[in-house]
Amino acid sequence: NRRVLWRYAARNAVLPQIQSFALAIGFIVSGTIVMEMVFSYPGIGLLLLNATNAKDYALMQGIFLVLVLAVLIANIVADIAYAILDPRTRQTEA
């Protein structure tokens, strides 16, 4: 029973959770501006707002780069974990 549970059932049950986690990272990162404004928490969202008000384009580009890289890395990690857990998604050479 334990082998069936961990080898087959748990691996298939965790696959949708990995994908939804990777998608949620994008919403979490993009929601920092609103959260930091509501709670007056100094962070990257408030820094982006101040850079927008000051028209500091270089700082805005840097912040957008950091945000995009965070989302991309989360999606790559989720895809790698998905391929490790589900061998059906691995590509085979023809």
Per-residue pLDDT of the chain (94 residues; tens, 9 = 90+): 777 777 777 777 777 888 788 888 878 877 777 888 788 888 888 888 889 999 999 999 999 998 888 888 888 888 888 778 777 766 666 5
Tell me how far apart the alpha carbons of residues 93 and 39 are, in angstroms, rounded to a whole number: 52
Determine the longest span between alpha carbons in the chain, in angstroms: 62
pTM: 0.69
Q: Helices marked H in 8-92 — which ranges?
A: 10-30, 32-39, 44-53, 57-85
